[in-house]
Amino acid sequence: MKPLILRNVKLNPIVAEYVNQFYDVISVEELTAENAHQIEVLLTNGTGQAPKELLDRLPNLKLIDDFGVGFDGVDIAECKRRNITVCTTPGVLTDDVADLALAHILAFSRQMCLAHHEVVSGAWAAGHKSLGLGRKVSGKRVGIVGLGRIGKAVAQRCHGFNMSLAFYDRYLSADKAAADLKAMLGVEPELTRYDDLVELARNSDYLVVCAAATPENHGLINEEVLTALGPQGTLINIARGVLVDEAALVKVLQEGKLGGAGLDVFAHEPNVPAALLTMKNVVLTPHIASATVETREQMASLVIGNLKAFREGTPYLTALTL
């Protein structure tokens, strides 16, 4: 009989193939008072939930192996207290997530979804052209909320579009940000740091949310911020849905106080506020920022590497410092 391993999400197929060689996998629904004490490893992903109530049921848990860079569903304080290691997949998905932010900027501004529909519906061929003009992206102002690894990769790409760069990040000084970007770009970009998120929004054409979903960031993008972004402004969220007050977002879009939104993440995935589904000034994707063959292979390789390290007692590849 193989040892048991617990999953609280559906496993990536590459990870599953490795895991099945050494473990019998059970889901949280299959956890019982009898088998819970056997669990030493929990397999999760960036949106998987590991609250204290679950951790309390797992007295021998040693590793949470996360197929993702986000760990907002994991009770980190409890992991720290109990010395449970948490491994994530940092770095390997940065490019893809930043690429998707740019894809949203372009898709929204150049009306890609409406334009595609105009062709496939036959409207264009029939001469019923209803598509108005889009908006130019090159040369516009981008405001980046959270200038970590992903935020900087977004800045790097926006610089390529001759956009002016500004950011809001409580933990990063203007000098450090400028030095980091200079190292990436080879030139020092024009970069403005805002202490006030509303001011950043007021001075941005695109506000791109790249921050982590820490409890203090919940609802960070509120009605005041969205209104400051304004009728010519676009919100892009490739981070986490909870960072945005979704009710306020729907309200400002309905009232025409915000130009539009490109959203890959939502507060209650896979549920999307019904009002957004019929709006023409939104582009919606189903949390696909890291969903490419290449990146998912690299993420799987880190998850497997960390599990291997656990099994062999060697150092973890990407353990969080708790």
Residues near ligand 8YV (CB under 6 A): 45-47, 67-70, 93, 287, 290
CB 151, min distance to ligand 8YV, A: 14
Measured from the Cβ of residue 312, the count of other Cβ atoms closer than 10 Å reads 8
Q: Which is nearer to ligand 8YV, 69 or 283 (CB)?
A: 69
Helices (H), the chain: 13-22, 52-56, 76-82, 94-109, 112-120, 149-160, 174-185, 197-202, 223-229, 246-254, 274-277, 293-312
CB 69, min distance to ligand 8YV, A: 4
Measured from the Cβ of residue 14, the count of other Cβ atoms closer than 10 Å reads 16
Is residue 287 part of the annotated active site? The answer reads yes
Q: Which is nearer to ligand 8YV, 48 or 259 (CB)?
A: 48
Angle between helices 174-185 and 149-160 in degrees, nearest 10: 60
The catalytic position among 159, 193, 287, 296 is: 287
Q: Which of 122, 266, 141, 117 is nearest to 201 (CA)?
A: 141
Q: Which is nearer to ligand 8YV, 203 or 298 (CB)?
A: 298
Structure tokens at 292: 């490419």
Q: Which is nearer to ligand 8YV, 54 or 150 (CB)?
A: 150
Is residue 240 part of the annotated active site? The answer reads yes
Q: Which of 256, 264, 309, 261 is nearest to 290 (CA)?
A: 264
The catalytic position among 193, 240, 246, 296 is: 240
The catalytic position among 269, 297, 311, 312 is: 269
Q: Which is nearer to ligand 8YV, 70 or 259 (CB)?
A: 70
Contacts for 216-221 with beta carbons within 8 Å, 24 or more apart? 217/242, 217/243, 218/242, 218/243, 219/243, 219/244, 219/245, 220/145, 220/244, 221/145, 221/197, 221/245, 221/249
Give the span between the Cα atoms of 39 and 62, in whole angstroms: 8
Active site residues: 240, 269, 287
